[in-house]
C-alpha cells in the first residue's frame, strides 16, 4: 500500500572530488526550464544595446522621463527601456535619473540600510574559476573548513561582541562542504545562547547563503533548516567569457546549471533568491541588461523577482592577475551608474554593496538606492574569532581583499549622520513574508511600513546592547525621528509599536512585526 507520509528530501553524498565533479549536476533539473529557449538570448541583447546606441537622440528627455515615470510606479522596466537608460550621457538627465533612483529607494525601502556580515565557512573548492583565490589549483591558499566549534566561536564574536543579527554564509564548492555541511553550519549559527556585553540575550536570526547551485532536493533541506536568501552570482552571462574563465569538465563550467539555479530554488520553495554579476569579467552593458532578463524570467515564471541584486566587482586575489589585466574593468563612475540603472530597472529589489568597495564608493552608492551593506567584515576563514578587532587582510586565507575596513560602529554613525537608520531586522522570513508575498508588499509600499517599525525596534536593541555613549548620542536623533514618523503616518499602529519599543528599552529582546 502506498504511504502518504511526507518523504524527507534525499541528498546525495559524494566520496571524492572526482565523483562529485562527474555526477553532481542533474540534467533533468536543467532542461525543463530551458525547453522554450534560453532566457539569455545573446544576439537579442546585443541588438537591443546596438539599437539604443544608434538612436538619433539617446538623451531625448521625453523618452527618458517616460521610462523614469515607470520606475516611480515600481514597475520592472522592459529590456529596451534599460538599454535606453544605459546610453544616456547628458549630465542633467543623469542627475534626474539619480534623483529618481533615490526617490524609488525611499518609496520602497524608506531611509533604511539593512546591516549584515559575511561569514566564510570553507575555502575547499573543486572548481578553477580564473579570478578566484579559492580555485583548486591555487596552492598558495591554506585550505580550511570550519568545525562546528569554530563556527560557534565566529558566531560568538559576530553576535555577542559586534551585535550582528544577519549573516551571509559563504562556501566554496566541494563534496565535504556541500548541503549536509551547509545545513549543519546554519543550524549551528541559529542555535546560539549568546549574551551581549550587558547580558542581553542576542544571536543570529537570519542566515543567507552564498554557495554553488544545488539540486532541488538539497535546496529543500536548506529550506527546512531556515535558510534566508539563497545567493548565487552568475559571474558573467556571456557564454564565451563564461567558458573561458570556468574550465570545461568542472562543475562550475556548466553555464546552464548556473543559469537555472533559481528555477530549482523556486521549485524547492526557497523563494528569496539573490543574483549578481561579477563586474569586470565582460562588458558591463551586456551584463546589466542580462541581469534584467534574468529578473524578468523569474517574474514571468514564478511571479517572484530577485529578493536582492549584488554588485561584486573584480578585486585583487591570490593566484590571479585577471583583476589588473581584464579589459572589462569598470571605473567608479560606471559602477555607480550600474547601481543607479539597476535600481531604476528593478525598483522593488534589495540591492547590496559590500566592503569590497572603497568607503567613498559605498558612501556614494547609498544615494543611488542601495538597501543592504556589511561593515566590520572579515573574510578570512576564522577571521572574526582569531583576529577580532585587528581585521588584518591575509591574502592566503581569504578570497580577495576588502577596501572598506570601517568598523560596524563607524559605519552606523556615518549612516546616522546622513539621517539613515541602520536596521538589523530579520522579521520577513520569520513571519512568512518571503518571495511573492514580500514582492507584492514591496511594490505597494506595505512592506516598507513593517520594515520601518522593525528597523526602529532592532536599532534600539543594538544601541542599548553594543553602542558607546558617543554613538548613542549621534544615533538617537534618527531613531526619534523615525518613531515620530510612525506616530504621524501610522497613528492607529503607533501605540502597539510604542509599547514594544518600551519593552525593548526595559530589556526584552527580539520583538517584531
Residue 115 found at the interface with ligand SAM (CB under 6 A): no
Residue nearer to ligand SAM on the CB measure, 212 or 456: 212
Burial 302-322 (b: 16+ CB within 10 A, else e): bebbbbbbbbbbbbebbbbeb
CA distances from 237 to 189, 201, 336 (A): 33, 44, 20
Among 160, 203, 312, 350, binds ligand SAM (CB under 6 A): 312
Collapsing DSSP to helix, strand or coil, 249 comes out as coil
- Phi/psi at 208 (5° precision): -85, 160
**Rounded to the nearest whole angstrom, what is the least distance from the CB of residue 339 to ligand SF4 in the complex?**
22
Answer with the entry of ligand SAM, ligand SF4, none that 135 interacts with (C-beta below 5 to 8 A by kind): ligand SF4
What secondary structure, in 3-state letters, does 259-286 show? HCHHHHHHHHCCCCEEEEECECCCCHHH
Among 49, 132, 158, 416, binds ligand SF4 (CB under 6 A): 132
Residue nearer to ligand SAM on the CB measure, 111 or 320: 320
CA distances from 103 to 85, 115, 280, 343, 442 (A): 17, 21, 28, 10, 14
Residue 127 found at the interface with ligand SF4 (CB under 6 A): yes
Residue 373 found at the interface with ligand SF4 (CB under 6 A): no
CB 91 within 8 A of CB 138: no
Q: Could you tell me which stretch among 55-63, 164-172, 452-460, 484-492 binds ligand SAM (CB under 6 A)?
A: 164-172
**Rounded to the nearest whole angstrom, what is the least distance from the CB of residue 495 to ligand SAM in the complex?**
45
Residues paired with residue 380 on neighbouring β-strands, in sequence order: 398
**Binders of ligand SF4 in range 235-254 (CB under 6 A):** 252
Residue 352 found at the interface with ligand SF4 (CB under 6 A): no
Among 323, 394, 405, 440, binds ligand SAM (CB under 6 A): 323
Among 172, 175, 312, 319, binds ligand SF4 (CB under 6 A): 172
Query: For residues 316 and 128, what is the distance between their CA atoms, to the nearest angstrom?
Result: 16
Among 45, 86, 273, 278, binds ligand SAM (CB under 6 A): 278
Residue whose C-alpha is closest to residue 278's, from 174, 130, 476: 130
- Contact positions vs ligand SAM (CB under 6 A): 131-132, 134, 170-173, 210-212, 232-233, 235, 278, 312, 314-315, 317, 323, 356, 399-400
- Contact positions vs ligand SF4 (CB under 6 A): 125, 127, 129, 132, 134-135, 172-173, 252
Amino acid at each position: 500500500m502506498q504511504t502518504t507520509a511526507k518523504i524527507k528530501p534525499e541528498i546525495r553524498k559524494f566520496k571524492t572530488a572526482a565523483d562529485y565533479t562527474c555526477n553532481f549536476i542533474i540534467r533533468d533539473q536543467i532542461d525543463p526550464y530551458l525547453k522554450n529557449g534560453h532566457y539569455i538570448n545573446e544576439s537579442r541583447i546585443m541588438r537591443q544595446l546596438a539599437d539604443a546606441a544608434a538612436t538619433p537622440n539617446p538623451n531625448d528627455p521625453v523618452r527618458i522621463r517616460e521610462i523614469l515615470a515607470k520606475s516611480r510606479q515600481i514597475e520592472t522596466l522592459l529590456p529596451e527601456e534599460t538599454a535606453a537608460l544605459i546610453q544616456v550621457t547628458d549630465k542633467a538627465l543623469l542627475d534626474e535619473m539619480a534623483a529618481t533612483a533615490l526617490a524609488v529607494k525611499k518609496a520602497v525601502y524608506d531611509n533604511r540600510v539593512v546591516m549584515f556580515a559575511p561569514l566564510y565557512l570553507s575555502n575547499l573548492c573543486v572548481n578553477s574559476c580564473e579570478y578566484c583565490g579559492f580555485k583548486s589549483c591555487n596552492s598558495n591558499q591554506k585550505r580550511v573548513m570550519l568545525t562546528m566549534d569554530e563556527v560557534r566561536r565566529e558566531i560568538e564574536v559576530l553576535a555577542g561582541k559586534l551585535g550582528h543579527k544577519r549573516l551571509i554564509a559563504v562556501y566554496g564548492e566541494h563534496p565535504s562542504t556541500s548541503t549536509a555541511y551547509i545545513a549543519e553550519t546554519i543550524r549551528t549559527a541559529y542555535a546560539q545562547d549568546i549574551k551581549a556585553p550587558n547580558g542581553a540575550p542576542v544571536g543570529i536570526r537570519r542566515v543567507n547563503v552564498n554557495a554553488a547551485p544545488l539540486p532541488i532536493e538539497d535546496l529543500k533541506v536548506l529550506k527546512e533548516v531556515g535558510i534566508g536568501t539563497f545567493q548565487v552570482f552568475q559571474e558573467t552571462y556571456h557564454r564565451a567569457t563564461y567558458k573561458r574563465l570556468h574550465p570545461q569538465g568542472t562543475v562550475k563550467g556548466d553555464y546552464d546549471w548556473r543559469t537555472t539555479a533559481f528555477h530549482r530554488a523556486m521549485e524547492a520553495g526557497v523563494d528569496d533568491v539573490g543574483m549578481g554579476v561579477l563586474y569586470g569579467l565582460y562588458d558591463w552593458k551586456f551584463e546589466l541588461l542580462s541581469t534584467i532578463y534574468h529578473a524578468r524570467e523569474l517574474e514571468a515564471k514564478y511571479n517572484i523577482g530577485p529578493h536582492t541584486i549584488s554588485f561584486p566587482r573584480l578585486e585583487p586575489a591570490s593566484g590571479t592577475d585577471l583583476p589588473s589585466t581584464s579589459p572589462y574593468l569598470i571605473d567608479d563612475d560606471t559602477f555607480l551608474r550600474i547601481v543607479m540603472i539597476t535600481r531604476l530597472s528593478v525598483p522593488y529589489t534589495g540591492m547590496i554593496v559590500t566592503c569590497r568597495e572603497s568607503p567613498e564608493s559605498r558612501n556614494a552608492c547609498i544615494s543611488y538606492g542601495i538597501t543592504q551593506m556589511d561593515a566590520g567584515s572579515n573574510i578570512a576563514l576564522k577571521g572574526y574569532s582569531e583576529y577580532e578587532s585587528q581585521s588584518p587582510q591575509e591574502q592566503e586565507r581569504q578570497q580577495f581583499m576588502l577596501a572598506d575596513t570601517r568598523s560596524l560602529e563607524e559605519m552606523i554613525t556615518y549612516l546616522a549622520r546622513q539621517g539613515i537608520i541602520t536596521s538589523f531586522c530579520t522579521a520577513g522570513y520569520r513571519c512568512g513574508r518571503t518571495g511573492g508575498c514580500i514582492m507584492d508588499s514591496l511594490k505597494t509600499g506595505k512592506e516598507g511600513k513593517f520594515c520601518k517599525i522593525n528597523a526602529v525596534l532592532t536599532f534600539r536593541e543594538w544601541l542599548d546592547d553594543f553602542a558607546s555613549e558617543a554613538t548613542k548620542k549621534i544615533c538617537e536623533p534618527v531613531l526619534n525621528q523615525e518613531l515620530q514618523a510612525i506616530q504621524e503616518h501610522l497613528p492607529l499602529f503607533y501605540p502597539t509599536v510604542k509599547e514594544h519599543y518600551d519593552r525593548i528599552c526595559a530589556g526584552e529582546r527580539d520583538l517584531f512585526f
